[in-house]
Structure 1
């Protein structure tokens, strides 16, 4: 630019012909690169190069309406939104009065002629009346407001398809809008970040009505008793939500993501935060990944196996349940189906087990209709039930013989057939690991833990929030009876101020069975981490994601996630940060496990 000016004389006359200056080497190339090769204007759209564009101006918005143009973005489609706000001087009231008289007169004239009134005119009249009330009664300023939107696509067919969706969306919001017919160039200029409104399609709005329309403000998600889920990926503020808030339908969480994306790290961080806030946390840890964290938090870590010193009585009642007998019987029937390795017959479910269990309680001095007697008498064990069923003979004795592995002392009897000696109420955090349990015995062990947790939750009475954290949930949901129990918890926990937090890998895990679909439907909070390209589309259809959000799932790095709550209406991208000083407690890669081994002073045995 300086060289260009130097080539003009001090009197402003060019020392060289202007054409020569403008057509210097390179100048023409620059113009060719910047200027479009094609500019075609039609009545309601324009073609600029290889891009087709269509613009809209908004005539009226219902209170609180907010246009979300991002929901329509996808490969080959773009959208721009621009609005102008101009404060009006106080003397505008006189102009508004004249305008109101004109609009009202037109309405009266139409009615006398028997013609239908104009919706647009009625909306303008209502806006003018509202503005006059704000000025004359409230003394508040009024603004001129203009809102424009432009949709662009790589083909005319794609533009028509997307614009149809845009228009249907605006109609669903009761937004009055118009295509900018024969005004597309003026609208293009109005969308540029130059602050120049070439259309001047305005309406009156107050400051209160304008507030929800500003997409550039930093919306803060903050609830005083909530959890910091992560940093808002757009504005950098903490997203702090309370899953037990009155407006939340269910506090249960569903965490989904491929291995290595951060879902287990998110769960561990949540366990720590819940413990700090005074909540109780119970962790089902199949891979022993939470041992260091639970130890650091001063919790109890229970390793269940055939030779462990722990016992859990499957026949313990849930004293906090509305129907302790019914709940205990249901738990027993579920366990028996897992223990015998087949579906129980109708006679076994509806006759043999209810009769034998009721008789067993009576022998123990327990009245099923008197909850107080449950705590006074000694809870019978699986051994006691097996002996009574053998005495009954017939099909009951046949069923009793199938319980032998769970009652024999030299097999699993010490764990399944003794009074419970695991008190999970002593510490705020309790972890159960099943790392040493064989595959065929995993389901019965899981049922023990699930039944113990359910009794603890109902006994707590909702005084203290309780969280059940299940990592690698896909592994548990392979067992139908365990999956049914988890689905029942996801659905009923909210009544007891408790929440199920289940993490799994793939979208197919959430549609593979009816109980998986119940867990998905009951989740009040969903956290979606990175997905493989082929999985991202299926996740998007399951949770109603836009095409832009699906694309984000494919590109998410470690710790990036999409947080969904409020019945699927709130979607917020977050990043889950970690304190570097505590990273070793949360991450579970080979390097972290090796560092933990060194920290504990354990030296691996040499292999000869």
Structure 2
């Protein structure tokens, strides 16, 4: 059958039989003729066939149409969207739930096994009804049509087979609109008319994944917005050929949290980020419990403080060098209250607290240090001097002095019995706690954190703007210590005002998500990175970070070095990679393994020894 919709135009610009100047759009841009067949059209000199997307996967993830859109040929892909009013959507969902629930109950009464598809559909309908009722989502009637073009009929048949195969690879089923090819073709023209009406009902999330403008890559800056000045390479996008470049310093806060079990590659990623940040002048301070950052620090001429090693001393009574604020001495006195409380293992009673406060000020005065900043450069007293002042005081002071004896004269005194031996300086400072005995771990960690906070809290020189990154590895051990947990909370809250960022790394997800302070650290972290999760923890992680089903599957099946970056509405999966020069500095393998040649940057790395 042939259709000849176009009539000749008479001289003078008028259509034969019409008014002068009445020239329709179809007469100008339309084809000379259209030959209609059951499953294809001949439009002018070419051929085309239209398909409707009728089958979808259980979960749509962006970009759902990527397999079709990436086909190297001429395609017209159109998505028709018709919003469904909330009242009508709620009514439809209620009816659907009634039908599904009736089917389930009939099967139960008759002793038949439940249909898994019915069970899944009932759960999905309940979730959709909850979203619609809360206003968190909407339903849309959506029609997706694809028109394939080719020069000849034989080429069209081959092209249609390839397009349908590309759709099948994304679990999309394409059906030809048999004997409705004209309606299908016009539905894919920019006319805004759906003449086929082969629609499916989709919710907001599924529709967003279906839009052709969706992309698995990070969103580009809007026109007029500046480009990220210090974006670092995080890795390769696992859903596209692109790179994942991220700039934590352009976000509302500069904090990050990384949650992953042991061996997933979290320390490898953080060491890479730290190393690459040094290129941009970022100062890094690291709390390292396993000496994983020592090799990196020595390579970049950084400083390493190995607490617990022979000859390494820290004096908790030191006044921060360069701090000339009027309340610097008062701040040090308050910190000593925390140190003594940690040493004694309990909150001090009121009498001992008063005795300690008087003893601290008296000890400083005896050393010639007063509230006058000019005296703060004098040698600070030691913990032994404070102990002596307490022992010479009243009954409460003598009791407290007796409780502090093991830390002054006993087996715990090795870290505090001399003036501070090192004041680390450098672009990268690593506080190693591996050689610190477990009995001194809490106090040593507190002193290391205090030194880091003093470096962060001290204003830089006038006209100098410094970005500082504080890395706390194995943070789960700190969250179990009240004093250290409070420090993390304070750092997460106050780092942004000091142009600093906190990077918290933990493999014990229960400790982070199970405490109020841990949740506060997560809520104050604009950058959140998740790596492979175990079945025992995936539910808690999915609830805390509102993961979709596809993101749950990604984390459950993630290999070493595969991560999910979450930042507000931005979610992207990536694989961490390092080049040959970076790998020996950030790998946690033995020296023999670290010297192995590895893939260069930009290649997928599947060596199990890499992470």
Map of 1:325-364 to 2, 5 A cutoff?
325-349=329-353, 351-364=354-367
CA change 1:394–1:52 in 2 (3 A) is closer
Q: Could you say which residue in structure 2 is the equivalent of 1:507? A: 509
CA change 1:392–1:432 in 2 (3 A) is same
Residue deviations 1:417-468 (CA, integer Å, cap 9, x gap):
433232222x211212222222112111111111111111111448312222
Q: d(CA) in 1 for partners of 2:520 and 2:215?
A: 38
1:255 CA displacement: 0.9
Whether 1:304 and 2:266 are equivalent positions in the alignment is no
Q: Could you say which residue in structure 2 is the equivalent of 1:25? A: none
| Matched length | 453
TM-score by length of 1: 0.64
Map of 1:133-212 to 2, 5 A cutoff?
146-147=80-81, 155=117, 158-159=120-121, 162=124, 178-179=140-141, 192=174, 196=185, 198=187, 203=192
Q: Could you say which residue in structure 2 is the equivalent of 1:495? A: 497
Q: Given that residues 145 and 202 in structure 1 are in contact (C-alpha distance below 8 angstroms), is that contact kept between their aligned partners in structure 2?
A: no
Q: d(CA) in 2 for partners of 1:52 and 1:420?
A: 64
Q: d(CA) in 1 for partners of 2:500 and 2:235?
A: 22
Secondary structure in structure 2 of the residue aligned to 1:214: coil
Q: Given that residues 220 and 237 in structure 1 are in contact (C-alpha distance below 8 angstroms), is that contact kept between their aligned partners in structure 2?
A: no
Map of 1:404-553 to 2, 5 A cutoff?
404-408=405-409, 411-413=411-413, 415-425=415-425, 427-461=426-460, 463-553=465-555
Q: Given that residues 83 and 140 in structure 2 are in contact (C-alpha distance below 8 angstroms), is that contact kept between their aligned partners in structure 1?
A: no
1:529 CA displacement: 0.7
Map of 1:220-235 to 2, 5 A cutoff?
220=219, 223-235=228-240
CA change 1:185–1:460 in 2 (3 A) is closer
TM-score by length of 2: 0.64
Q: Given that residues 314 and 451 in structure 1 are in contact (C-alpha distance below 8 angstroms), is that contact kept between their aligned partners in structure 2?
A: no
1:365 CA displacement: 4.2
Root-mean-square deviation (Å): 4.4
Q: Could you say which residue in structure 1 is the equivalent of 2:103? A: none
Q: Could you say which residue in structure 2 is the equivalent of 1:584? A: 584
CA change 1:196–1:309 in 2 (3 A) is farther
1:322 CA displacement: 8.0
Q: Given that residues 587 and 594 in structure 2 are in contact (C-alpha distance below 8 angstroms), is that contact kept between their aligned partners in structure 1?
A: no
CA change 1:215–1:360 in 2 (3 A) is same
Q: d(CA) in 1 for partners of 2:245 and 2:596?
A: 36
Q: Given that residues 506 and 535 in structure 1 are in contact (C-alpha distance below 8 angstroms), is that contact kept between their aligned partners in structure 2?
A: no
CA change 1:202–1:416 in 2 (3 A) is farther
Secondary structure in structure 1 of the residue aligned to 2:240: coil
CA change 1:216–1:571 in 2 (3 A) is closer
Unaligned regions of 5+ residues in structure 2, if any? 1-52, 70-77, 85-92, 97-114, 148-163, 177-183, 194-210, 221-226, 598-611
Unaligned regions of 5+ residues in structure 1, if any? 1-44, 54-67, 74-78, 85-143, 205-211, 600-608
Q: Given that residues 289 and 473 in structure 2 are in contact (C-alpha distance below 8 angstroms), is that contact kept between their aligned partners in structure 1?
A: yes
Q: d(CA) in 2 for partners of 1:172 and 1:203?
A: 31
Q: Which has the higher helix share?
A: 1
CA change 1:479–1:154 in 2 (3 A) is same
